[in-house]
């Protein structure tokens, strides 16, 4: 009897211990689940809906920024094109000027001069010569009318022919006087810039070819300078 009661108490104690252990495990599991739920609620992703108006404003802002950047690029490209055109214009002007000087130098190199008598008995003439000059060329078309006006095409071409015949460099000539020397003929008195050399140059007009030098007289003194005193 005593052994039976003892065994019965042991069995009850064992059952109670097992139940207590199970309850403890369940409580721990429940606690962990609660902690997980709280953590998910606090640190979980923000699922709030995005306002469509904000998205539209964002898209508009990005579009405007893109258009502004494209506009800046176009302005830069336009600026580069303008600079390129200016550089091209300067280069063309320089090339034309160099070409003109090169043509005059070539023409001067091919010229063979020959001493001759002056047109008239003039004590102011210390030397006279002619050469195988060719017409200077012209931009004029149609019937020719001699024009002495400053800056006119005819006068510019006259002075080019005179400079060629006198052997003066471009920019190193003073035109003192241009006068009518007859039908389609001109006589020009010029000097170098330092006025150490003075020339009287005779020109004749050749249709569609321009002014052609025919004679150069080297003068002792500038007999046309008095007009400017």
185 touches 204 (CB < 8 A): yes
Residue 74's pLDDT band (cuts 50, 70, 90): low
Q: What is the pLDDT of residue 91?
A: 46
pLDDT (average), residues 91-119: 65
Residue 190's pLDDT band (cuts 50, 70, 90): very high
pLDDT, greater one: 8 or 152 = 152
Q: What is the pLDDT of residue 95?
A: 52
Q: What is the pLDDT of residue 89?
A: 47
pLDDT (average), residues 131-147: 95
101 touches 163 (CB < 8 A): no
CA-nearest of 228, 80, 89, 103 to 161 is 103
Q: What is the pLDDT of residue 102?
A: 53
pLDDT tens column, 13-68 = 666 667 777 788 888 888 888 888 887 778 765 545 445 455 445 454 444 555 55
pLDDT, greater one: 20 or 85 = 20
**0.85 exceeded by the pTM?**
no
CA-nearest of 226, 202, 198 to 125 is 198
- Does residue 223 have a pLDDT over 80? yes
High-pLDDT (> 70) share of the chain, %? 63
Residue 130's pLDDT band (cuts 50, 70, 90): very high
């Amino acid at each position: 009897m005593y052994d039976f009661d003892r065994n019965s108490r042991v069995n009850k104690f064992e059952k109670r211990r097992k139940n207590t252990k199970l309850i403890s495990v369940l409580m721990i599991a429940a606690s962990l689940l609660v902690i997980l739920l709280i953590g998910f609620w606090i640190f979980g992703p923000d699922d709030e809906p995005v306002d469509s108006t904000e998205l539209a404003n964002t898209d508009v802002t990005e579009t405007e920024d893109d258009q502004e950047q494209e506009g800046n690029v176009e302005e830069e490209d336009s600026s580069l094109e303008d600079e390129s055109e200016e550089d091209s214009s300067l280069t063309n002007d320089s090339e034309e000027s160099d070409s003109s000087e090169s043509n005059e130098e070539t023409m001067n190199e091919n010229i063979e001069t020959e001493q001759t008598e002056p047109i008239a008995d003039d004590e102011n003439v210390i030397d006279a010569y002619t050469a195988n000059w060719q017409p200077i060329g012209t931009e004029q078309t149609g019937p020719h009318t001699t024009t002495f006006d400053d800056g006119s095409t005819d006068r510019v071409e006259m002075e080019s022919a005179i400079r060629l015949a006198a052997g003066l460099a471009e920019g190193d000539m003073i035109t003192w006087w241009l006068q009518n020397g007859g039908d389609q003929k001109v006589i020009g008195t010029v000097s170098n810039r330092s006025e150490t050399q003075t020339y009287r140059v005779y020109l004749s007009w050749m249709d569609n070819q321009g002014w052609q030098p025919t004679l150069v007289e080297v003068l002792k003194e500038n007999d046309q300078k008095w007009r400017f005193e």
